[in-house]
Structure 1
Amino acid sequence: MIIGEIEVLRWLHILAMVYWLGGEWGVFQTSYNVVNPRLSLDERRRHMETAYRIDILARTGIILLLPLGLHMGTLYGFVPLDRAWLAPMWGVFIAWLSLTWAAFFQHETDLGIRLTKIDEALRYILIPALLIVGVASLLDQGPLAVGEGTLWYPAKITVYGLMLVIGLGLRFIMRAWTTRFRRLAEGPNPREEAALKREIAIGRGLAYVYWIGIASAAFLGAVKPF
């Protein structure tokens, strides 16, 4: 049996999806203890650190899904570019992934917050681009070379773009944890506790939509229904 490039890419794509979905579930469960005021502040911070360590795997999976998908799309002929574009494309995404990991290693510091904001700003550009490309291609307006039987590809890109919107909201919540816990370290603060409770409630609602969207993207890639 010969294992080709497309098979390896497909395997890596599945792994990235697993880390994305599994990581988000881990952060969801850990958040219960992060916002539990009955626990000591040190105990809550330990759970917050665990959440960050789980979340970085999910963030890595999210980022890697796109270049892996674009690489496969190029091999399938959906992306109307030759293989020469793959190396610079991977260079851009490796740089983005490096930024994300740098923000993780510095997440307790002001530098980490600044790096996270840069990471978020990149999504303000990426999300509209993905949605425009995905929806336009579904409407047969390009730029992807797809048609009947291959529309699952732009549909998956569109769902992925929408999930990045929800993920951005969840990133805002996690970024706020650092600032809120700094204030809680100064002493009891009912306002910060109320804000944590409110934000986590919103985050959990978003998480349910997130999981449905991730599952939908996986379904499109696996079943290729249209």
Structure 2
Amino acid sequence: MTAHELLLLIHILLFCYWLGGDIGVFYSSNIVVDDKASPEARIVAGKIMVACDLVPKLCMTLMLTTGGLLTTFFSVVHPAWQMAAIVLLGPFWLTLVLLQHYNHHASYINQLVKFDFIFRCALIVIGLIFISYALLNGQLMGNTWIAAKLAIFYLLVFCGLMIRLALKDFGTAYSNLLQGIHTAYDNKMMLKAMNRAKPWVYTIWAGLIGAAAIGIAKPLL
């Protein structure tokens, strides 16, 4: 297997587990907010939801690195600093996500969550600036489909941030469910938060499928 084939395989697997994991999270979340289900079933579904949620998050962190490395096989030339940023981004972002998932009781977690939010906002802005610059200076000449895939990726990052904001009230209500002190109001708040998040979830699914289609067709946009 060549380096190109290996990177392509990893990239495809990241897509599959991102979309598949996200669907698993979505399905289990519907059980969590179902007040007709028993508290025990809802708690088990919540544990499945949290565990599954890590998979698409990890896949997202590595997409830019594998995708950036793949562009070198399409005659896209990256300056040394840019290539270093592409290679280091994945491990850095991956570590950031893992720390938040496994150390959520740490004293620094609130600051880390805020940093993560700002980091993703900055990533979107810098990424869109890079796309514009690359198109203007001809770096993506003949490969404008790469710009389209990158634009979709940053849209997906934005959708993730919107989901985080939509679920702002979910955590407290879910915590009450875990403690067995949840009320009808908590049920209402969880359902309301989940309904706010759904349009952004659907957008992520559509974006992933669209990006995959562009990657296969490689149209001259």
TM range (shorter): 0.7 to 0.9
Tell me the CA shift for residue 135 of structure 1: 4.1
Which residue of 211, 214, 221 corresponds with 1:217? 211
CA contact (8 A) 1:9 1:68 kept: yes
| 1:132 pairs with 2:122 | no
CA contact (8 A) 1:34 1:45 kept: yes
Q: Which structure 2 residues correspond to residues 66-145 of structure 1 after superposition, within 5 A?
A: 66-82=64-80, 86-87=83-84, 89-107=86-104, 112=109, 114-137=111-134, 140-142=135-137, 145=139
What SS does the corresponding residue of 1:21 show, helix, strand or coil? Answer: helix
Tell me the CA shift for residue 179 of structure 1: 2.6
| 1:196 pairs with 2:190 | yes
- Distance of aligned partners of 1:13 and 1:175 in 2 relative to their CA distance in 1, 3 Å threshold: farther
- Distance of aligned partners of 1:53 and 1:79 in 2 relative to their CA distance in 1, 3 Å threshold: farther
CA contact (8 A) 2:168 2:193 kept: no
Moved more, 177-186 or 55-64: 177-186
Distance 1:79 1:45 in 2: 50
Tell me the CA shift for residue 141 of structure 1: 1.6
Tell me the CA shift for residue 166 of structure 1: 0.7
CA contact (8 A) 1:20 1:58 kept: yes
- Structure 2 spans left out of the alignment, 5+ residues: none
Which residue of 158, 161, 164 corresponds with 2:154? 161
Distance 1:71 1:217 in 2: 17
Distance 1:222 1:166 in 2: 23
Moved more, 8-17 or 100-109: 100-109
Q: Which residue of 1 aligns with 2:24?
A: 26
- Structure 1 spans left out of the alignment, 5+ residues: none
RMSD between superposed Cα atoms in Å: 2.5
Tell me the CA shift for residue 71 of structure 1: 1.3
CA contact (8 A) 2:167 2:197 kept: no
Distance 2:127 2:120 in 1: 10
Name the aligned partner's letter for residue 225 of structure 1. Answer: P
Tell me the CA shift for residue 115 of structure 1: 3.4
Deviations 1:105-146 (A, max 9, x none): 234677555533332221010011122222454xx424x611
Which residue of 27, 47, 50 corresponds with 2:48? 50
Deviations 1:53-88 (A, max 9, x none): 111111111111101111122343324324x75456
Distance 2:114 2:20 in 1: 24
- Tell me the matched-pair count: 219
Deviations 1:161-204 (A, max 9, x none): 11111122223455653332224436243333222111111222
TM score, norm. by length of structure 1: 0.84
What SS does the corresponding residue of 1:124 show, helix, strand or coil? Answer: helix
- Distance of aligned partners of 1:222 and 1:89 in 2 relative to their CA distance in 1, 3 Å threshold: same
Distance 2:102 2:170 in 1: 15
Distance 1:110 1:193 in 2: 29
Q: Which residue of 2 aligns with 1:14?
A: 12
CA contact (8 A) 2:21 2:55 kept: yes
Distance 2:34 2:107 in 1: 25
